[in-house]
């Protein structure tokens, strides 16, 4: 029994299987919402699952000039980092493995997939992949600071760097949540950049550099990279929920899971809305936007939360 329960948490819920299945479903929801907003029908709900299974059955082709070992293991590092991050975020009440400072650990873990994307493109040695890899790294320096600054404000106000503690604080003080609006939208836009979604899908712009950093990937390796991105969508939405929306609002068990699903779906809707309203921008435009507008907005949220912390004593 001592071994069975941790294995259930890691493999079934809220571990790998839940993260993979829910991530693929959110991918469908995102595509369906965008289709409705653009007056299209959109894919059936089974499409992401069918696409993933099809990629698993395809042949894996490794370019002759590529670093074969690194080329093959990077998708698994990306998935492992994302899954580990979820274990520190509250899903059904408290997180599975909470500790003081786990928010910093989650931010670090969510940076690892981006680094694997860069290494995937660089190790492919393809010109398209190399350009995509350089864009991945350049984009990382644009959105990472605004994202961290946006998350720091609520942590200062809550007086803890533990995600479960931040969620509990805002669940107990719901009147303070509207004051986090600036930071929430700054984090939402930064998350859009981290997930490389429109208007920040510059690293894999198909009409410019084919498939970007993943141009040379095929078969199950491409499928696992795509799955890592879908899983990262779940974890990113869960992170915003814990920091800005009060987590599961004090619920536990099935009720907490229902609140978690509802809030992550709402965040996915906002991401889909942003994706549908915007056209792709250039890489230097993204850098200018993040440093001129997004970072100052996040700093304004930090200053506001410091003031509120002082007023609350």
pLDDT digits (tens, 9 = 90+) for 88-99: 999 887 788 889
Locate all alpha helices (DSSP H) within 212-292, ordered by sequence.
219-244, 253-277, 283-289
User: pLDDT value at position 163?
Assistant: 96
Lowest-pLDDT range, 17-21, 156-160, 201-205, 221-225?
201-205
User: pLDDT value at position 1?
Assistant: 54
pLDDT digits (tens, 9 = 90+) for 90-138: 988 778 888 999 999 999 999 999 999 999 999 988 888 999 999 999 9
- Whether residue 209 is predicted with pLDDT greater than 90 in this model: the reply is no
Of the pLDDT bands very low, low, confident and very high (cuts 50, 70, 90), residue 2 is low
With a CB cutoff of 8 Å and minimum separation 6, the contacts of 64 are none
Domain locations in the chain as residue ranges? 4-312
Rounded distance, CA 41 to CA 313, Å? 53
Output the pTM of the full model.
0.94
Rounded distance, CA 134 to CA 213, Å? 9
**Cα–Cα distances in angstroms (integers) from residue 95 to residues 258, 259, 286, in the given order:** 15, 15, 34
Rounded distance, CA 266 to CA 240, Å? 11
């Amino acid at each position: 029994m001592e071994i069975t329960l941790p294995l259930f948490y890691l493999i079934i819920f809220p571990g790998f299987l839940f993260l993979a299945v829910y991530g693929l479903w959110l991918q469908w929801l995102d595509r369906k919402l965008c289709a409705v907003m653009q007056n299209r029908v959109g894919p059936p709900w089974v499409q992401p699952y069918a696409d993933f299974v099809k990629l698993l059955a395809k042949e894996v082709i490794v370019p002759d000039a590529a670093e074969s070992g690194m080329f093959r293991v990077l998708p698994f590092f990306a998935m492992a980092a994302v899954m580990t991050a979820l274990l520190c975020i509250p899903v059904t009440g408290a997180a599975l493995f909470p500790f003081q400072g786990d928010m910093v650990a989650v931010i670090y873990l969510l940076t690892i997939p981006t680094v694997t994307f860069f290494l995937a493109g660089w190790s492919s040695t393809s010109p398209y992949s190399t350009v995509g890899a350089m864009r991945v790294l350049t984009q990382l320096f644009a959105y990472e600071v605004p994202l961290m600054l946006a998350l720091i404000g609520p942590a200062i106000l809550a007086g803890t760097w533990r995600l479960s503690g931040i969620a509990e604080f805002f669940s107990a003080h719901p009147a303070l949540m509207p004051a986090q609006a600036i930071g929430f939208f700054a984090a939402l836009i930064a998350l859009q950049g981290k997930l490389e979604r429109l208007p920040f899908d510059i690293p894999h712009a198909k009409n410019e550099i084919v498939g970007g950093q993943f141009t040379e990937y095929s078969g199950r390796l491409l499928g696992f990279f795509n799955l890592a991105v879908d899983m990262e969508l779940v974890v990113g939405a869960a992170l915003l929920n814990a920091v800005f929306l009060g987590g599961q609002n004090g619920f536990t068990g099935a009720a907490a899971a229902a609140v978690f699903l509802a809030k992550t779906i709402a965040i996915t809707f906002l991401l889909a809305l942003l994706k549908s309203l915007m056209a792709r921008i250039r890489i230097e435009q993204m850098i200018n936007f993040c440093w001129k507008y997004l970072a100052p907005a996040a700093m304004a949220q930090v200053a506001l939360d410091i003031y509120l912390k002082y007023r609350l004593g």
